[in-house]
Structure 1
């Protein structure tokens, strides 16, 4: 048999008839020839393929199989070469064991196929309700449009786009839920078919057992009956039903009702640092960093405990301006200075690493999802990406317009405030710098931006000329406003600064006081993001 012969470049040639590309099935002992099927019948003294022969002694029958080297061996080899460190077994026992293993895995895969099929069925059952719901709402919208077609054409188009946008996001989520078990089920069936074929061919079974065994085991273990897809789909459907079209009795066509994010004032605290001070950023869910601009001192303020601690005195060699947590095991802090530097500090605010970004400019800093530092010298169009381990520049993103603020999202995207011909844009970039979305904010009086990293939401602080105060609005990563004036504050001597220490808390620092706001309602984008985060399946 072929598995008992040595392998060479001439193995595809029968030594009896000299035919190329003919599989060998026998070995002629007398003259040591490898023969094809036809020659094996004509020659005498051939070894039949149903017998096993020693890998080393080609004419000696093998009853023993070395499991360590995956080869048949004779008794002489068993007590010499393969004696000390090898695991041995009878060939027939090995065949039986391997057949038993594959039979067990095949049966297990059938059970898991049922699990995958059940998950797909659960998605299909709920998907029908999802489609019916949006078909019904779109039909209501269409009928209302027909009555007011001439007057309300533009309004209808806007509403329809909004409804389509939401329904598309939900459909994409359900398709992802369905595709995962579908792909796994397909792979499982294909590998099980191969395993069943091995049971009928001893040579293939011995040769391909390990590969098929490992692949089938891996696919079988991927089945997770603990993930209740039906429950996930119920949550998706629950969000979908919060979106609906409501016709009005007035001249308007109606409105699209959807969950909108809302905040309310929660508390106020005066840390008595001085009115000529500003907030550099948040470094934890309860702590913000405030700088006294007169004395150049820096404080950490706990907004919940209402305590403050001076961490840098006025004699610091670095004029720090912005800060973000690095979120590594050492809990380091990344700061941008007013002198063109990035300074990495420990929790005692001792400078560990200094990175020169520009000669003399305020530097905006962020930390991306890979833990790398993003730095931009305000007014330049370059974002440098640095390794916090050694401070080396890894690569740069270069835009053609000046950048005035920057944040990083957990999705890997980057949000910037950049200059355009008519004013300021909010632009969402991918991690390579390609533009994904952009919003023109001309005349909006934009001051700065922060983000809720976990839910990929963008918060803009701007001057509201209609109300003569400062307001905070919310944008999605598609650069569309999803909530207006979720928080506001009165004008002060210095422009206010603000932060989102955690998803349900906002802090605005103005006129020497800390104003905290509490989120009372989650918007549509956050509800969808929470399904993804909770289930880890979409």
Structure 2
């Protein structure tokens, strides 16, 4: 415990110089004892100096009073120094605690990754055992023919399993590399805080040593005290304790956000490290060929393939973000609104038609294979009397198609196996103004006005309303299928840029303008900011597709 301050009388007795003070201190010029101190000139003088050179307006103080006051100043700073030292030293165990907690949190995520992939690798190997057993049972019927078939199938089986194992091991290694990178960021930051905290402690210890030294001689005390006092005030004003504490709290919060997310999108398994806000960095930009007239991004077909339509020619192109190659896949006359993969073989597309009649919408929903050959059309009820009809589609976590007609209140859930409508969701008082997106929870996000989005349950209950005045007329929303995070792109009039906000499914804006890019001079329709299953964010400025990757920062 800190000791109590002595009473005034005892403190004065302790700090007051004895009568006559240090008799060895004398005036260099006159040899007389130092008795006075000139306040105006900040100099210690003898009686002769005072008589000759320091008459009025100079103000003279008794040297013993000056020495006493300087010691009082140091004495009064001592409790604050001790308290600050005590506070800084309390951070040492806290730093170690945060470092240990962060390490344990990362270890938990790493263990989860390892356990998950261990199970999946076991399932793949069990699959191999089952396949081999089936092959052996079939081989008994025709020895020669079955053996030939068996050898071929074993080879194919091994090739498939090796491919799947390689894929899983690659993803596991990538995820563990991501956690290692995050751990290194945390370690570097906590090491910096340790150094900063220790530097502050060392500085205060040096100040204490200096005070002890200059207190031993009156002359040194008088001459060096102002600079030492100023140094004390400067170091105490830095408030290192609060700064380090705030940094530690921020590290704790950011590390606790880190999580391992996984799921299936379009029949393919994906897993990644996510959960943090981070910083989105541009990985590369992909030029959209000039043959795509008035381009607009409609959706992703696979992890590497983006669907881009040409508004003028009403044609559809497939851009591979790995090879950066763009290929026309649907000829003129078909205007696609949206698309999504159902599985590794089938894509569903919503379309626009201007010749709709009757009570059914035919040709507004089409299934394609991965070579963009038409499999078949799916029909839904036609609402309203307009001949010009737009239908928006997506695929939910169960592989069901969700579809809705523009300016109508119904969303249809369709089984792609038999094209039957298994559920009709009606939102009272609101209509579809654009894209609809399925969340992994089963809820649906749909655009209900130019700058408004609504999250509803499968029963049609409104769960949250998402709105921001800055999003304006041309906002677009896309959902990260693994995290249910919403990414809303819009034209920022003030900055004259295309910007993207990150929003939770509950409607909370988590981060503003996570990416920004300048709209090109090339005419184009506003495009959504897609999120691929592996976590890449793809934006379009009208001339290029910009690919961003999120990185963990502190």
TM bucket normalised to smaller? 0.3 to 0.5
Larger Rg over CA atoms: 2
TM-score by length of 2: 0.46
The structure carrying a bigger helix percent of its residues is: 2
Q: TM-score, normalised by structure 1?
A: 0.47
